[in-house]
Amino acid sequence: MLGGGQMSEVVMQISNVSKVFPSREKKEGFTAVNSISIDLIKGEVLGVVGESGSGKSTLARCAFGITAPTSGSITILGQDLAGKSRRSTRELRSNLGFVFQDPAGSINPRMNVRNAIAEPLLLAGQSVQEIDKRVAFLMDRVGLATSQLNRKSHELSGGQCQRVAIARALATNPQIVLLDEPTSSLDLSVQAQILNLLEELRRDFNLTYFLISHNLDVVSHLSDRVAVMRDGVFVETGITTKVINDPQHPFTRELIRAYSGVHKSDGVLPAGFHLDDWQDGPLNRWAFQNIDSFLPVARIEASQSPIDLPVSIDPAIDTLEIEASGNTYTLPELVNDLDTDAIVVVRKGVVVYEKYFNSMVPESLHLLQSVSKSILGALFAIMADRGVIDINKKISHYLPELLGSAYTDATIAQALDMSVAVNFSEDYLDPESEMTRLDRAAGWRSNSTGRDLGLRSFLKTLTASGEHGKAYQYCSANTDVLAWLISDVTGMSYQDLLTRELWQPMGAGSDASVILDSQGLSVGNGGISCTARDLALFGQLILGEGRAQGRQIIPVQWIRETFAGASPDVISADYLQALHPGGSYKNQWWITASQSQEIFGVGIYGQYVWVDPTSQTVIAKFSSLPVPVDPVHSRKHMALFRAICGVTISK
């Protein structure tokens, strides 16, 4: 990195730049960037770091002339980009290079490597001989062989695609290069190679980098200065080492906790740990309680006035004998048979049963898997009730990025009810299924395919399989689309929305967390971890028709519609009817349609929140079953829950 004496020539000056987008919620619009001022010094790397939705990418787009700011000015190499002629603009932009976060997506799939790198030179009017000479030089400098010139992006690895993108960015010999999450979609070993290459190129070509990242590890490795961004403003700026080692702002400290050192040394991981195996037993007993040891997470903040449910343990529950799958179990035997990590039973607002296993304690966080979907459903109820979103509108109305995908004509309501017709296999064990691709995109599996680089990249590839709204089809991708949508519409990160609208209002006693993908987008379909007590508290909120701490948090009508189930016109699935005759799926909840009218959220490997309005009982259960889905385990869980609720009915 450069010494302070060398940093003197300003190559980019950002002065009081703001960017306001139209908003249906606010007449004044949504402010993505708010009066930002900063200088970029020749030869340095300026890292702008922040969560998804913080405004960092919008700032970069304004700074490099991709998007016009609402107010303020940007000067590049002494020239103001605004108001210049096309020729002058073209000459100025030849001094700018761009490296984006999705290497395969930033290369025209119809072009081979040679033509992808040559395109900026061709537009600049260079001859074929000049172009071929420059392309050969750049191929060598970024570590690619000339034998790869005729290959297309799908024939390259993710790291090779990013090297092509870097060569293309340097084609016109620019002075300033925008690096937009340049390594976030790559495997760890490849990330290190690309970071080292970028450092080498900066030194050799005297480049200046404007780095956008959500990961402070990358920023600390590459940048000289860092600006920490939140809600459109810089909350802290300074020399990178000083900011990392002595952060002054609470948000900077939180970022460091969430992102720095996510990939810890092998010494803190169990023997044999591999990213492709952590969800399977027996490794999941450790992994589900230690997600932040190997995946990036963001915090969902607890309430400052938490609800402390009263406790009156009912000894009769442990004496139950339960018939399940042709066998008779005592309750402790069945709890053990179902690989239980924690179970909390709340009857009429009182904790009557609470047990922890496998090193769990009441304060332990545990991954919810798809119980996270039910929490998202409640958040959408709140935002729809306020008019922030209209669930009957098409998803593409709010996310035009999904035009041309399966979600072009699908509505938010159809995604909530899992009636989007999409080519998607939810097979958790098939390495080629769309579910496995979704896991790779979310960062839950290793990914050396060069595709599905982050959730947004993957979700855009899904295609429709028929008419939406006609049949139930469980698809985890729908929930990730919804988490993306609500963050985009509100301009807030998903974790901050959950904190503000649900976790704190309901009186959660502990911080929760949510997993982030490589671009900092929350994994809505299954990424939340929380305590068993707080999951039970969430179930109690549903049981209480959305009311807690003297206020209506979730609209009553939405909860009643959820208990009523899906429209009978929606064709159900055989496996759902076999387990719950007449049952359905509504608003990200499973509806049993039984006499007791239970609804529940469920996640693979045995995660549950069970809500029984007849007995006024809520059950939260964490498990680490050895396989993701098994009808025998499902039936045993139903028998366990109904036996417990049968005890409560008699009380």
Q: Are 592 and 611 in contact (CB under 8 A)?
A: no
CA distance 267 to 244: 23
CA distance 100 to 258: 23
CA distance 468 to 414: 7
User: Token pair for residue 5?
Assistant: 């004496």
H helix or E strand, kind and range, residue 110: none
- Strand segments, DSSP code E, in 560-628 are 584-586, 589-591, 599-603, 607-612, 617-623
CA 551, 553, 556: angle at the middle one, nearest 5?
100
**587's torsion region: left (phi>0), alpha (psi -120 to 50) or beta?**
left
Beta-carbon count within 10 A of 90 CB: 12
Q: Return the half-sphere exposure (C-beta side, CA atoms, 13 A cut-off) of residue 279.
A: 23
CA distance 144 to 130: 19
User: Token pair for residue 21?
Assistant: 């987008």
What are the Cα distances from residue 218, in Å, to 192, 223, 388, 583? 9, 8, 35, 48
Of residues 153, 370, 513, 615, which has the active-site annotation? 370
DSSP label at residue 482: H
Query: Helix (H, G, I), strand (E, B), or coil: what is residue 6?
Result: helix
Q: Are 609 and 534 in contact (CB under 8 A)?
A: no
H helix or E strand, kind and range, residue 57: helix 56-63
User: Token pair for residue 557?
Assistant: 């009508």
CA distance 42 to 7: 6
**Active-site residue, 370 included:** yes
User: Token pair for residue 430?
Assistant: 């098939």
* Closest to 279 (Cα-Cα) out of 618, 643, 605: 605
CA distance 601 to 625: 17
CA distance 321 to 47: 61
Buried b / exposed e over 544-562, threshold 16 CB at 10 Å, is: bbbebeeeebbbeebbeeb
Q: Are 153 and 71 in contact (CB under 8 A)?
A: no
* Closest to 298 (Cα-Cα) out of 60, 529, 452: 529
User: Token pair for residue 209?
Assistant: 């980098």
H helix or E strand, kind and range, residue 91: helix 86-93
β-pair type (366-367, 528-530): antiparallel
Q: Return the half-sphere exposure (C-beta side, CA atoms, 13 A cut-off) of residue 195.
A: 20
β-pair type (366-367, 350-356): unpaired
* Closest to 384 (Cα-Cα) out of 460, 480, 246, 482: 482
Q: Are 540 and 346 in contact (CB under 8 A)?
A: yes
Please report the DSSP string for 329-398 in residue order: EEHHHHHHHTTEEEEEEEETTEEEEEEE-TT--TT--EE-TTHHHHHHHHHHHHHHHTTS--TTSBHHHH
User: Token pair for residue 381?
Assistant: 């109820």
Catalytic annotation, residues: 370
